Amino acid sequence: MATVAVSSETSQEVQKTTDLSLYHQVSQFLFEEARLQDDHEYDDWEALWTDDAIYWIPANGADIDPENKMSIIYDNRSRIGLRVRQLNSGKRFSQEPRSSICRTVSNIEVRELDNGEIEARTNAMIFESNLRGEQLWSTRNTFLLRREGDSFKMTKKIVVLTNNDKAIYTLAFLI
Amino acid sequence: MMQNSQVNFDSLITSNRVHGSLYSDEALFREELEKIWFRTWVYVGHESEAPNPNDFVMKSIGPQPIIMVRNKDGELRLLQNRCPHRGNQVCVKNSGNAKMFTCPYHSWTFSNSGELIGYAFPDGYAGHPDADKTKLGLARVPRVASYRGFVFGSMAEEGPSLEEHLGGAAETLDRLCETSPEGEIEITAGFLQHKTQSNWKFLVENETDGYHPAFVHASIFNVADSGIGGLYGAESTALARDYGNGHTENDLRPEFRKFDEPLRWFGTDETRLPDYVSKMNAAYGEKRAREIMVDGTPHVMIYPNLFIAEIQLFVIQPTAVNQTIQHVTALQFKGAPDLNRRMRQQTMGSVGPAGFLLADDSEMYERTQRGVESRDPEWLFLGRGEQRETRDENGFRVSHTTDETPSRGIWRHYKSLMEA
Ligand code: FES
Ligand SMILES: [Fe+2]
């Protein structure tokens, strides 16, 4: 069963923020990221990442060691860029035509970490329609964000698919 | 139950054409299970996945789960996951270490060799003429054999040996193992499971179809600056080979020998993997080590379900006439940690549901499946290169790597199995 692990940068003791303004800003950022993914705005989405970013979608649980075990995605910054360039090539057939996507992001929890980064947790339900048919995806997500001007950048995003221990169809849109 | 075929395969398969219904006929799929999946040698797992006594791992033969378990004496057994009492699944874990399996329904207990050790409240069976414990064990896959650590099972009590089945293709597994300084591969990185709405035979044929990469994978070859594209171009010197018994290969060695650069096959060079290179030199001597590192690992499809793609191992599992699961992991070479790390990184990029390569292969499997459900032209034409096919020094059919020699070999074998 896939459960969300506490990322190594955080501890359970860190309190959720009581700063409503911060909570609002983070929520707006998360909704924007979701919208860019739904709209296939690949370049704008890529611009949300820091240079040292990690984009991780584990398989077979949430607490596997990605250095030693297979993940569905375990991208560093340059591989995120490669993924985007492939999507932009016009010949990424699993996204040509692009899936129609609609996702709902909820259960937002925000914590300020000692190192100044912000951890956000969310759940998402994602409905995909493509040539094969319709497909529902369900995820629990952990973000690490860094302040950048009056917004944020993502330095880490972990997407834990609820069924990541089972056989799943192609997942070629941005999740 | 055994289907008695009404099908005349001569009317569906010729030397260079196959009928579209072969991919979509439900009754034929059930017949394939009986005649191919539950009869011939099928790859199940690798010995390194259950290294210690009492280790088990859930595997499959065709749609059905199989427990691959090493008993206390260290022998590998393949058990069916079905309680002989009323049919409950005795094991629902994907892997573990267990001396016994206890069925949760009425607590019958089995050794990990499959024997029934005991049942709950035994007086209910005392004196019963049919309650013979020796006949109420878990069903075993009758034949289990392994080659260089690759474990195969056959549900037929009798038939060709595994060596006979592998035939000339056994040499590809030898070649693969030689890439390790210790002569062994290991499967330790865990599997991705990628589901596709397509008949399993489209996947088997695609694995050694050297015609599609230039088109289906152009999106990644172009942006990643990859050398793979050239291997499958019109000018390539690589070969497509039909080993017989359904086993097929894209032999890329002629291309790599042309460049004569160690580790080019892996997109790198000796300076990047110094530990690996020195271990290979120590193990095989510099001359032989260099040859191995120039040639690279094979790209071979062992019929019906084991695909070695240079750096990955795929297991093809049919689950319905139009649904197939590909289980895929990075190959790991014993004694080569620096190589293995890159193997895992490259594999994660390439394969699985989000892979740069496999997501698009899977897209083609699904579109082809929907395509052949249109009525006409009824037949698929697999004649590419038939007129320029030759025989290699071992008598195996070879042709240009983009030719359909592999597909024709796969169908020739399929026909012989289905007519048997
Ligand atoms: S079904 Fe297994 S003990 Fe009854
Ligand atoms: Fe491919």
A83 contacts on B by Cβ (under 8 Å): 356
Q: How high is the pLDDT of residue A1?
A: 39
Tell me: pLDDT of B228 over 90: no
Whether A8 shows a pLDDT value over 60: the answer reads: no
Q: B304: cis peptide before it, omega within 30°?
A: yes
By CA distance, what is A163's nearest residue in B?
Answer: B193
Closest to B278 (Cα-Cα) out of B293, B264, B267: B293
| CATH number, domain with residue B111 | 2.102.10.10
Banded pLDDT at B226 (limits 50, 70, 90): confident
CB–CB of A86 and B223 under 8 A? yes
Select the residue from A94, A96, A157, A174 to test the B interface by mutation, using most B Cβ atoms within 10 A.
A94
Interval A133-151 mean pLDDT = 96
User: Which one of B103, B117, B125, B138 would you pick to mutate in the ligand 1 pocket, going by the greatest count of ligand atoms within 8 A of its CB?
Assistant: B103
The average pLDDT across B314-330 equals 98
Instruction: From the CA of B106, give the closest atom in ligand 1.
Output: 3
| Cis peptide bond upstream of A97, omega within 30 | yes
Interval A17-32: pLDDT, tens:
889 999 999 999 999 9
pLDDT at position B225 is 78
Give per-residue pLDDT as tens, B100-159.
Answer: 999 999 999 999 999 999 999 999 999 999 999 999 999 999 999 999 999 999 999 999
- HEC sequence for B314-326: EEEEEEECCEEEE
Q: How far apart are CA B330 and CA B317, in angstroms?
A: 18
- Cα(B186) to ligand 2 centroid in Å equals 24
Closest residue CA from atom 3 of ligand 1: B106
Residues B142 and B175 in one domain: no
Percent of chain B past pLDDT 90, that is, above it, reads 96
Q: Are the beta carbons of B359 and A94 separated by less than 8 Å? A: yes
pLDDT of residue B6: 76
Q: What is the pLDDT of residue A4?
A: 46
Tell me if chain A has a CB within 8 Å of the CB of B93.
Answer: no
Task: Kindly report, residue by residue over B280-315, the tens digit of the pLDDT.
Answer: 999 999 999 999 999 999 999 999 999 999 999 999
Q: Are residues B257 and B401 in the same domain?
A: yes
Tell whether the model's pLDDT for residue A2 goes beyond 50.
no
Question: Do residues B218 and B228 touch, judged by C-beta distance below 8 A?
Answer: no
Report how many domains make up chain B.
Answer: 2
Token representation of residue B57: 């791992």
What A52-56 contacts at long range (C-beta under 8 Å, 24+ apart), as own/partner pairs, is A52/A77, A52/A155, A53/A77, A53/A80, A53/A153, A53/A154, A53/A155, A53/A156, A53/A157, A54/A155, A54/A156, A54/A157, A55/A79, A55/A80, A55/A156, A55/A157, A56/A156, A56/A157, A56/A158, A56/A159
The pLDDT, as a whole number, for residue A13 is 64
> Closest Cα to residue B217, out of B232, B204, B203?
B232
Where do the DSSP E strands lie in B169-292? Answer: 185-186, 192-196, 239-244, 247-251
Percentage of chain B beyond pLDDT 70 is 99
- Nearest residue CA, atom 4 of ligand 1? B106
CB A164 within 8 A of CB A2: yes
Is there a contact between B113 and B103 (Cβ–Cβ < 8 Å)?
A: no
Torsion of CA B233, B239, B242, B248, to 10 degrees: -60
| Contact check, Cβ <8 Å, A93/B192 | no
Alpha-carbon distance of A172 to A93, in angstroms, equals 9
B273 and B330 inside one domain: yes
Whole-number Å distance, alpha carbon B242 to ligand 1 midpoint, is 47
Render pLDDT for A57-95 as a digit per residue (tens, 0 to 9). Answer: 999 999 999 999 999 999 999 999 999 999 999 999 999
Same domain, B255 and B383: yes
Q: Longest Cα pair distance anywhere in chain A, in angstroms?
A: 47
* pTM reported for the whole predicted model: 0.96
Chain B, nearest residue to A85 by Cα: B223
Pair (B106, B176) in one structural domain: no
Residue B210: pLDDT above 60?
A: yes
Q: Does residue B249 lie within any of the structural domains?
A: yes
Specify the higher pLDDT residue, B4 or A135: A135
Is the pLDDT at B366 greater than 90? The verdict is yes
CA distance B194 to chain A (A): 5
Ligand closest to Cα of B136 equals: 1
CB contact under 8 Å between A82 and B356, yes or no, is: yes
Q: Give the residue from chain A lying closest to B368, CA to CA.
A: A132
Q: How far from A107 is each of A23, A161, B174, B325, B404, CA to CA, in Å?
A: 12, 16, 53, 33, 53
Q: Are strands B109-111 and B323-330 parallel, antiparallel or unpaired?
A: unpaired
Burial B36-53 (b: 16+ CB within 10 A, else e): bbbbbbbbbbbbebbeee
How far is it, in rounded angstroms, from Cα B280 to Cα A74? 29
The confidence score (pLDDT) of residue B67 equals 98
Give the mean pLDDT of A89-115: 97
Contact A82 B344 (CB under 8 A): no
- Take residue A116 and report the two structure tokens written for it: 């100044």
Mutate which of B192, B342, B369 to test chain A, going by most A C-beta atoms within 10 A? B192
What is residue A17's predicted lDDT score, i.e. its pLDDT? Answer: 86
| pLDDT above 70: residue A3 | no
Domain identity same for B313 and B401: yes
Residues B129 and B256 in one domain: no
Whether residue B341 sits in one domain with residue B203: yes
User: What are residue B402's phi and psi, to 5 degrees?
Assistant: -90, 0
**Does residue B156 belong to any structural domain of this protein?**
no
Q: Which residue of chain A has the CA closest to B359?
A: A170
Note whether B332 and B235 are same-domain residues.
yes
At B392, give phi and psi (nearest 5°). Answer: -85, -175
In whole angstroms, give the CA distance from residue B331 to residue B189.
8
Q: Tell me, what's the ipTM? A: 0.95
The DSSP 8-state label assigned to residue B40 in this structure reads S
Is B103's C-beta closer than 6 angstroms to any atom of ligand 1? yes
User: Looking at ligand 1, which atom is closest to the CA of residue B103?
Assistant: 2
Asked if residue B86 has its Cβ within 6 Å of ligand 1, the reply is yes
Contact B183, B284 (CB under 8 A): no
Model confidence band, residue B5 (pLDDT cutoffs 50, 70, 90)? low
Domain boundaries, chain A: 2-161
Average pLDDT, chain B: 96
Which CATH number applies to A2-161: 3.10.450.50, 3.10.105.10, 3.30.360.10, 3.40.1390.10? 3.10.450.50
Order of strands across the sheet with B390-391? B192-196, B323-330, B312-320, B306-309, B299-302, B247-251, B239-244, B397-400, B390-391
* Cβ–ligand 1 contact at B83 (below 6 Å): yes
> Which residues make beta-bridge pairs with B224?
none
**Virtual CA dihedral for B328, B333, B336, B339, nearest 10 degrees?**
-40
- Residue A6: pLDDT band by 50, 70, 90 thresholds? very low
Tokens describing residue A151: 């917004």
Q: Measured between beta carbons, which residues in chain A are less than 8 angstroms from residue B224? A: 82, 86
Are B137 and B210 in the same domain? no
B367 touches chain A (CB under 8 A): yes
Residue B264 in domain: yes
In B258-297, the residues whose Cβ lies within 8 Å of chain A are none
CATH code where residue B312 lies: 3.90.380.10
DSSP code at position B278? H
Residues B130, B260, single domain; the answer is: no
Residue B24 lies in a domain: no
pLDDT band at B1 (very low <50, low <70, confident <90, very high): very low
Tokens 């369900």 -> residue: A138
Structural domain boundaries, residue B140: 43-147
Which ligand approaches the C-alpha of residue B210 most closely?
A: 2
What DSSP string runs through chain A? ---PPPPTT--TTSPBP--HHHHHHHHHHHHHHHHHHHTT-HHHHHTTEEEEEEEEEESSSSS--TTTS-EEEEEEHHHHHHHHHHHHTS--GGGSSPPEEEEEEEEEEEEE-TTS-EEEEEEEEEEEE-SS-EEEEEEEEEEEEEEETTEEEEEEEEEEETTTTS-B----S--
Find, in chain A, the residue whose alpha carbon is nearest to that of B187.
A69
Residue reference for tokens 């000339």:
B168
- Angle ∠(A68,A71,A72) on CA atoms, nearest 5: 165
Residues with Cβ within 8 Å of residue A20, at least 6 apart in sequence: none
Average pLDDT over residues B240-266: 97
Does B91 contact ligand 1 (Cβ within 6 A)? no
Contact state of A64 with B189 under an 8 Å Cβ cutoff: no
Alpha-carbon gap, residue B371 to B367, rounded angstroms: 6
Residue A11 pLDDT greater than 80, yes or no = no
Same domain, B103 and B249: no
What's residue B51's pLDDT?
Answer: 97
Locus of tokens 């929907």: B370
Neighbours of B118 (CB within 10 A): 12
Could you write out the DSSP letters of every residue in A15-32? PBP--HHHHHHHHHHHHH
